[in-house]
Amino acid sequence: MSGLEQRTVALAASVRKGERSARDLAVKALADIESRDGSYHCVTRLLMQRALEAAERVDRLVLQGRDPGPLAGVPFGIKDLFDVRGEVTTAGSKVLANDPPATQDAVVVAHMIAAGAIPIALTNMDEFAYGFATINAHYGNTRNLHAPERLAGGSSGGSAAGVAARMFSLGLGSDTNGSIRVPASLCGVWGLRATQGRLSVEGSYPFVPSLDTVGPFADSAGGLKACFEALCARPLAEVDVSSLRIARLGGWFGENMSAPMQTAIDTLSMALGATDVVEIPEVARARAAAFVISASEGAGQHLGRLRTQAGEYDPAVRDRLLAGALLPSTLIFQAHRLRHWFRDRMHEAFAKTDILLAPALVGEAPRFDQPEIEIGGKMVSARANLGLYTQPLTLAGFPVLTVPMKVPGLPLGAQLIARPGREDQLFALAEKLETDGLAEARLI
Amino acid sequence: MVSKAEPETGVRMTTDPHDSEITVLAAANGLTIPSEFRAGVRTNLELLRSYGALIEGLELPDRLEPAFRYEP
């Protein structure tokens, strides 16, 4: 056992009171990962020394009667694209594996440690975050804890699956096109893509600089909020949840759902009184723009190495990057103009509502041996279309919280979307959904 | 499909028009794409072009600026 029977807020409270030792928790978590992760590949490296140093510091502060921070003793996983002092940041690649170790922690990692959280492990990802599956030719595929023959989702799959496995209570990930929301949904944990620019990306390896965001996974709504507050280094304002106006996204976001996802979204909408349906125009084009910007900027990021070391990349990622390098620059310009246009439409969608509700994915996690899924009556790539509902929202940069809906069968996630900067409203609603028994992280 | 190589430019001549196109586009960016990568690159390029058609299918005002920087 990892010792993580308590959820984040309760766990931190027990450490702060001196009822539990942060060092004991860290030792148990490290041993648990070593004994269980061989089957799941959530983790690529343990941070043994950093974990023990951080845990001993927390215990020492508690003993001295000083404040160890709101996340005291809570173990967290770190997607291997964040700098961690003394570790090489590989971003899931081999081509960076011989880079010098980072000399300082990424800003979000530093904020977590300052809040008392314990860095326990680096986690698996799609190479350079370019994928929705956490299928990695170099470091292995992360398996879904709830059905190991199925995808955990990606690209931050190791952080999401590790939270679902109770290997750590919180995880750090990045979300460019859905890389937090997709694995959170498939693994049954809470996740947040913050407002673009709200959390610092300093010290994280870039994928698509104009769309990249970083954010947390958590074992509970309260844990997600506490983690976000630590990442922002400031508390959120309280929100009267009864005052929130909630509507459902229709059109693109109301089509192609599996029967279980349709039922889950209908049930959640009804429970929230979300009877109004809002449609955003030209969602397919918005998704297309996100796709093209990602391929082009990603290719630009790697162009030098693609000229000389393309054969050392994960083949799937390599081919996407090379194709991105062949696009005309005028198309990228048009995509960024469309981005501007689409953001204006998103603001209009919030004219009479505070929160929009949408599915996170079309359905449950696909199997590894299931290359295609049916969308719009056509068989299409399962891996490429995991971002069907997340990718268009990326273009606008609004904050999105993934809710693990309480459903029978495999996990299913919903997206709650708010206006830029209104994460406080998302957390207020998330905590109510958890309290009311409509949502719950599915931990093993 | 490769019929001959021109070492002075690094551009390979091919008989397949799609392959030739990839060769020329790649060379414009200083890339040489080996034959074993071509099928995957072509599949991805076709997908991206389908998205490109969607983007260009929406008429936007001339004075609409690109949103390179994010401003909520």
Amino acid at A93: S
- B67 vs A288: CB contact, 8 Å cut-off? no
Q: How many domains does chain A have?
A: 2
Same domain, yes or no: A75 and A165: yes
Same domain, yes or no: A406 and A259: yes
Of A232, A260, A278, the one marking the end of a domain is A232
Q: Which of A337, A343, A346 to mutate to test the interface with B (most CBs of B within 10 A)?
A: A337
Please give the interface size between A and B, counted as residue pairs whose CB atoms are below 8 Å apart: 114
- A327 vs B52: CB contact, 8 Å cut-off? yes
Q: What is the pLDDT of residue B8?
A: 44
Q: What is the pLDDT of residue A378?
A: 86
- Please give the structure tokens belonging to residue A309: 């070391």
Nearest to A166 by CA among A223, A213, A207: A223
Q: Which of B30, B42, B55 sits opposite A292 (nearest CB)?
A: B55
Provide the edge-to-edge strand list for the sheet that holds A118-123.
A43-46, A118-123, A75-79, A170-174, A214-218, A190-193, A400-404, A413-418, A355-359, A246-249, A277-278
Tell me the domain boundaries of chain B: 2-54
For residue A237, being part of any structural domain is answered with no
- Give the dihedral of Cα atoms A274, A278, A283, A286; nearest 10 deg: -90
Q: What phi-psi label fits residue A18: left (phi over 0), alpha (psi between -120 and 50 degrees) or beta?
A: left
The distance of A323 to chain B (nearest Cα, Å) reads 5
Same domain, yes or no: A159 and A28: yes
Would you place residue B19 in the very low, low, confident or very high pLDDT band (cuts 50, 70, 90)? confident
Scanning the structure block, which residue is given the tokens 């995957």? B40
Q: What is the pLDDT of residue A1?
A: 59
**Chain B neighbors of A334, CB-CB under 8 A:** 55-56, 60
Contact (CB, 8 A) for A78 and A93: no
For residue A429, being part of any structural domain is answered with no
Mark out chain B residues that contact chain A at CB-CB < 8 A: 22, 25-26, 29-34, 37, 40-45, 47-48, 50-52, 54-58, 60, 64-70, 72
Same domain, yes or no: A108 and A222: yes
What count of Cα atoms within 13 Å lies in the side-chain half-sphere of residue A236?
22
**Chain B neighbors of A298, CB-CB under 8 A:** none
Burial A254-277 (b: 16+ CB within 10 A, else e): eebbbebbeebbeebbeebebeee
Nearest to A161 by CA among A359, A54, A150: A150
For residue A202, being part of any structural domain is answered with yes
A179 is an active site residue: yes
Residue-range definition of the domain harbouring residue A346:
245-421
Contact (CB, 8 A) for A73 and A12: yes
Active-site residue, from A2, A21, A93, A155: A155
For residue A428, being part of any structural domain is answered with no
Active-site residue, from A179, A220, A269, A296: A179
Of A203, A232, A261, the one marking the end of a domain is A232
Q: What is the pLDDT of residue B1?
A: 36
User: Which of A376 and B49 is assigned the larger pLDDT?
Assistant: B49
For residue A269, being part of any structural domain is answered with yes
Contact (CB, 8 A) for A142 and A41: yes
Which stretches in chain A have pLDDT values below 70?
A: 1
For residue A212, being part of any structural domain is answered with yes
The distance of A401 to chain B (nearest Cα, Å) reads 17
Same domain, yes or no: A303 and A160: no
Same domain, yes or no: A223 and A348: no
CATH number reported for the structural domain that contains residue A263 in this entry:
3.90.1300.10
Q: Which of B32, B48, B60 sits opposite A327 (nearest CB)?
A: B48
- B51 vs A292: CB contact, 8 Å cut-off? yes
The distance of A343 to chain B (nearest Cα, Å) reads 8
A21 is an active site residue: no
- Give the dihedral of Cα atoms A363, A154, A194, A429; nearest 10 deg: 30
Query: Is pLDDT of B14 > 60?
Result: no
Same domain, yes or no: A314 and A262: yes
Would you place residue B72 in the very low, low, confident or very high pLDDT band (cuts 50, 70, 90)? low
Active-site residue, from A2, A79, A93, A169: A79
Q: Which of B37, B42, B52 sits opposite A292 (nearest CB)?
A: B52
Q: What is the pLDDT of residue B15?
A: 59
Same domain, yes or no: A225 and A252: no
Would you place residue B4 in the very low, low, confident or very high pLDDT band (cuts 50, 70, 90)? very low
